[in-house]
Amino acid sequence: MALMTGEQYIESIRKIKMEVYLMGKKVDVPVDDPILRPSLNSVRMTYDLAQKPEYKDLMTVKDPETGKEINRFNNIHRSTDDLIKKVKMQRLLGQQTAACFQRCVGMDAFNALWSTTYDTDKKYGTSYFKNFKKFLDYVKENDLTVDGAMTDPKGDRSLAPHQQADPDMYVHVVERRPDGIVVRGAKAHQTGALNSHEMIVMPTIAMSPEDKDYAVSFVVPLDTKGLFMIIGRQSCDTRKLEGGNIDVGNAEFGGVEALVVFDNVFVPNDRIFLNGETDFAGALVERFAGYHRQSYGGCKVGVGDVLIGAAALAADYNGAAKASHVKDKLIEMTHLNETLYCCGIACSAEGTPTESGNYIINLLLANVCKQNVTRFPYEIVRLAEDIAGGIMVTAPSEKDLFDPKLGPYVEKYLKAAPGVKTENRLRILRLIENLSLGTAAVGYRTESMHGAGSPQAQRIMIARQGNIPAKKELAKKIAGVKE
Ligand SMILES: Cc1cc2nc3c(=O)[nH]c(=O)nc-3n(C[C@H](O)[C@H](O)[C@H](O)COP(=O)(O)OP(=O)(O)OC[C@H]3O[C@@H](n4cnc5c(N)ncnc54)[C@H](O)[C@@H]3O)c2cc1C
Provide the residue ranges of all domains of the chain, joining segments of one domain with +: 6-277, 283-469
Q: Three-state DSSP class for 206?
A: coil
Name the active-site residue from 9, 47, 77, 104.
Answer: 104
The predicted-structure confidence for 111-161, as pLDDT tens digits, reads as follows 999 999 999 999 999 999 999 999 999 999 999 999 999 999 999 999 999
Residues forming beta bridges with residue 147, ordered by sequence position: 199
Residue 192 backbone class (left: φ over 0; alpha: ψ -120 to 50; beta: rest): left
Q: Is 151 in the pocket of ligand 1 (CB under 6 A)?
A: yes
Residue whose CB lies within 8 A of the most ligand 1 atoms, among 454, 459, 460, for a mutation test: 454
Q: Is 193 in the pocket of ligand 1 (CB under 6 A)?
A: no
Decide: 240 and 29 in contact? Cβ < 8 Å: no
Cα–Cα distance, 92 to 21 (Å, whole number): 32
The predicted-structure confidence for 188-232, as pLDDT tens digits, reads as follows 999 999 999 999 999 999 999 999 999 999 999 999 999 999 999
Report which of 323, 426, 433 is spatially closest to residue 385, judged by C-alpha positions: 433
* pLDDT computed for residue 143 by the predictor: 98
Q: What is the CATH number of domain 283-469?
A: 1.20.140.10
Cα–Cα distance, 85 to 209 (Å, whole number): 39
Give the closest residue (by CA) to ligand 1 atom 53: 447
Q: Is 264 in the pocket of ligand 1 (CB under 6 A)?
A: no
Q: What is the CATH number of domain 6-277?
A: 2.40.110.10
Q: Is 176 exposed, middle or buried (0-12, 13-18, 19+ CB in 10 A)?
A: exposed
Q: Calculate the dihedral angle through the C-alpha atoms of 64, 66, 67, 70, rounding to the nearest 10 degrees.
A: -80
Cα(451) to ligand 1 centroid in Å equals 7
19 is catalytic: no
Q: Is 451 in the pocket of ligand 1 (CB under 6 A)?
A: yes
The predicted-structure confidence for 252-261, as pLDDT tens digits, reads as follows 999 999 999 9
Q: Is 255 in the pocket of ligand 1 (CB under 6 A)?
A: no
CB under 8 Å to 398, separation ≥6 — which residues? 244, 245, 246, 247, 426
Name the active-site residue from 9, 291, 299, 347.
Answer: 299
Cα–Cα distance, 468 to 475 (Å, whole number): 11
Name the active-site residue from 47, 80, 97, 100.
Answer: 100
The pLDDT mean for the chain works out to: 97
CA 219 to chain centre: 19
Q: Is 115 in the pocket of ligand 1 (CB under 6 A)?
A: no
292 is catalytic: yes
Cα(447) to ligand 1 centroid in Å equals 9
Q: Is 450 in the pocket of ligand 1 (CB under 6 A)?
A: yes
Cα–Cα distance, 151 to 458 (Å, whole number): 16
Residue type, 164: Q
Report which of 185, 239, 235, 188 is spatially closest to residue 214, judged by C-alpha positions: 185
CB under 8 Å to 433, separation ≥6 — which residues? 249, 392, 393
Cα–Cα distance, 113 to 62 (Å, whole number): 21
Cα–Cα distance, 379 to 77 (Å, whole number): 32
Q: Is 189 in the pocket of ligand 1 (CB under 6 A)?
A: yes
Q: Is 446 in the pocket of ligand 1 (CB under 6 A)?
A: yes
447 is catalytic: yes
Work out the pLDDT band at 2, boundaries 50, 70, 90.
confident
69 is catalytic: no
pTM over 0.85: yes
The predicted-structure confidence for 11-65, as pLDDT tens digits, reads as follows 999 999 999 999 999 999 999 999 999 999 999 999 999 999 999 999 999 999 9
Percent of the chain with pLDDT over 90: 99
Cα–Cα distance, 193 to 26 (Å, whole number): 16
**Backbone angles phi and psi of 135, in degrees to 5:** -65, -45
Q: Is 269 exposed, middle or buried (0-12, 13-18, 19+ CB in 10 A)?
A: middle
Task: Point out the ligand 1 atom lying closest to the alpha carbon of residue 149.
Answer: 11
Task: Point out the ligand 1 atom lying closest to the alpha carbon of residue 456.
Answer: 47
Cα(202) to ligand 1 centroid in Å equals 15
Cα–Cα distance, 439 to 162 (Å, whole number): 36
Cα–Cα distance, 213 to 175 (Å, whole number): 9
Stretch 159-177: mean pLDDT:
98
Work out the pLDDT band at 1, boundaries 50, 70, 90.
low
